[in-house]
């Protein structure tokens, strides 16, 4: 009789052993908390594809499109700038010595500088170290960095800025002259001025040698010149339009005779102002140094184009928009 009790006790103890296993429900509760950390893991996982393009485009962001270099050497106790031809030879030697792959090198004999295209930051450091070996003191007059990401953002923001600025110009001139045709004609003249100046910069690549000018490219100084041209040309156009409004008086119709009288009455003022401005920007171009050559060149073209556009583009466009059908 005692044996069954023992067996019963053993049996009762045996189910107690699963109890730790049954304590497993407590353990499953803990195990349930273990998978919990993976639950927030899906949050960074969608970010992984977003980070990869950023890392891929970081190289584009630091890419140097152009570097303007000048090197000085101490000769007979004085610092002397090396000529562009000597610099090109030194860069070729450095390229051969270090294995650098330089896209393009352009020399500027007037300012004793060279412009190097297609270098990144590490290659610039290598080039500096190699030039220092020649007892030279290299320093960079101008460095411009453009990458795919930066260029895309600049293009997007620039497009928005142009669209909104044109809308603002049209709205203001519409309210000022009580007719939307004035605003549209002014914007047409502005677009004409910028496109012609942009074409001149593009053509400079092919006429650089013949006209003894540089091969200009779109840069921040050129963009600043475009904005200056827009402001200058718009001011000239509004002067003509203001005289048109005075000549028109209370007449609702704008005729060719009205425009002709308005242009003739403002012609001397327009020419004198433009010639004065042209003299200043031409001086900047010839003696201002290479740093502002592109800016001054764009202004020279823009002042000339803006002067005739207010007469031969804006005024005919205004007449065309007000012509009765």
Q: Which residue has the higher pLDDT, 13 or 126?
A: 126
Query: CATH assignment of 62-145, given 3.40.190.10, 3.20.20.70, 3.40.1160.10, 3.30.70.100?
Result: 3.30.70.100
The pLDDT of residue 46 is 43
Q: Where are the domains of the chain?
A: 1-54, 62-145, 149-322
Element of type H or E holding 259: helix 256-287
**For the CA atoms of the chain, what is the radius of gyration?**
36
Q: d(Cα 194, Cα 298) in Å, to the nearest integer?
A: 10
Token pair for residue 101?
A: 């792959």
Q: Label residue 136 by pLDDT band (50, 70, 90).
A: low
pTM more than 0.85: no
Measured at the CA of 239, the angle between CA 233 and CA 245, to 5 degrees, comes to 135
Q: Which residues of 141-150 are buried (b: 16+ CB within 10 A; e: fewer)?
A: beeeebbeee
The pLDDT of residue 152 is 66
Does position 73 have pLDDT exceeding 80, yes or no?
no
The pLDDT of residue 253 is 84
Q: Label residue 317 by pLDDT band (50, 70, 90).
A: very high
Q: d(Cα 137, Cα 275) in Å, to the nearest integer?
A: 42
Query: CA dist 274 to 78, 194, 232, 233, Å?
Result: 44, 17, 9, 10
Architecture of domain 149-322: Up-down Bundle (1.20)
Question: pLDDT per residue over 139-178, tens digit each?
Answer: 555 555 555 555 567 778 777 887 888 899 899 999 988 8
Question: pLDDT per residue over 279-297, tens digit each?
Answer: 999 998 888 777 788 888 9
Q: d(Cα 149, Cα 147) in Å, to the nearest integer?
A: 6
Q: Label residue 205 by pLDDT band (50, 70, 90).
A: confident
- Output the 3-class SS for 154-205: HHHHHHHHHHHHHHHHHHHHHHHHCCHHHHHHHHHHHHHHHHHHHHHHHHHH
- What average pLDDT does range 247-268 have in this prediction? 89
Average pLDDT of every residue of the chain: 71
């Amino acid at each position: 009789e005692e044996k069954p009790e023992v067996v019963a006790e053993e049996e009762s103890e045996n189910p107690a052993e699963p109890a730790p296993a049954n304590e497993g429900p407590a353990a499953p509760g803990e195990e349930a908390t273990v998978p919990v950390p993976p639950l927030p893991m899906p949050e960074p996982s969608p970010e992984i594809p977003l980070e990869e393009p950023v890392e891929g485009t970081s190289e584009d962001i630091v890419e140097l499109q152009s570097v303007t270099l000048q090197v000085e050497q101490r000769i007979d106790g004085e610092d002397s700038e090396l000529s562009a031809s000597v610099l090109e030879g030194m860069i070729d030697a450095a390229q051969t010595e270090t294995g650098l792959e330089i896209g393009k090198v352009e020399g500027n004999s007037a300012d004793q500088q060279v412009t190097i295209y297609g270098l990144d930051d590490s290659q610039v450091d290598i080039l500096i170290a190699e030039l220092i070996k020649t007892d030279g003191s290299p320093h960079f007059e101008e460095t411009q960095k453009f990458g795919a990401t930066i260029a895309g953002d600049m293009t997007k923001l620039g497009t928005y800025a142009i669209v909104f600025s044109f809308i603002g110009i049209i709205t203001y001139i519409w309210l000022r002259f009580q007719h939307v045709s004035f605003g549209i004609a002014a914007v047409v003249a502005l677009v004409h001025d910028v496109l012609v100046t942009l074409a001149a910069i593009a053509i400079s690549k092919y006429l650089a040698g013949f006209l003894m000018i540089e091969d200009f490219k779109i840069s921040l100084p050129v963009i600043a010149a475009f904005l200056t041209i827009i402001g200058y040309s718009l001011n000239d156009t509004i002067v003509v339009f203001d005289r048109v409004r005075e000549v028109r008086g209370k007449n609702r119709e704008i005729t060719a005779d009205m425009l002709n009288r308005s242009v003739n009455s403002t012609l001397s003022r327009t020419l004198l102002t433009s010639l004065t401005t042209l003299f200043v920007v031409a001086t900047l171009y010839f003696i201002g140094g290479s740093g502002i050559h592109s800016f001054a060149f764009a202004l020279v073209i823009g002042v000339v184009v803006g002067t005739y556009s207010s007469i031969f583009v804006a005024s005919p466009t205004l007449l065309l928009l007000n012509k009765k059908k």
